[in-house]
Amino acid sequence: MNNGLDRLILALDVERVEEGRELLASLKGELKYVKIGHQLYARGGFPFLREIGAMGFSIFLDLKLHDIPNTVFQATEALASENLWALTLHCGGGRKMLEEARRGKEKAGSRTNLLGVTVLTSFDDASWAEVAPGCSLSDALEKRAALCRETGIDGIVCSPLDLPVVRVAGPGLFTVVPGDRPASADDDQARVATPQKTIANGSDYIVVGRPILNAPDRIAAVRSIAASIEEGLKCRSL
């Protein structure tokens, strides 16, 4: 996968299905992967997912499933039946929940990649200490990455700054990194890096939203980020 577009995932974080549909139509042939979050899934549901799939995109459904094990088993079985490329689970649900998610995927006979979300990229050390006193952010990352590996989860979603910890604790899992921003971007994520640096540091895929969605020329933005990814791949071999 030396083509930058093969590693770039668009976060389709827009308010309306119609807006998402129009945006994807304008980028058809320029992108392979599209991430759908809670808002668009709540508005469009399975019909919109199927429409996106019919347009030729591979769907990354980012719902961060987090519930009792049996509920997550049932949800994963239903969602994995929709020919998704990937589906997210929150590692905070624990070992049994992750195992049941894998069982749900297997029952569906699906090839959907299950991705464990370690720690949300909006957390920094101070905000993490408020919700998990006595457990450092780095310890949580290490334990959750290891848990994904032990329970047969396919990959991990983590911050670009967390890659060194995650890759050691979860060897063999592929990594998806949100919070990637071109150097000129400015927004509310706490633990971010540029696409080139993230790929150079070993991430398999990156997720980019607003720098593409808010660009005056979205196709040019996609191609620029893809070129940055390719530069990052070159750095790996130096």
Residues tagged active-site:
64
Q: What is the DSSP string of the chain?
A: --SGGGGEEEE---S-HHHHHHHHHHHBTTBSEEEE-HHHHHHHHHHHHHHHHHTTPEEEEEEEE-S-HHHHHHHHHHHHTT--SEEEEEGGG-HHHHHHHHHHHHHHT--PEEEEE-S-TT--HHHHHHHSTTS-HHHHHHHHHHHHHHTT--EEE--GGGHHHHHHHSTT-EEEE--B--TT---S-SS-B-HHHHHHTT-SEEEE-HHHHT-SSHHHHHHHHHHHHHHHHHHHT-
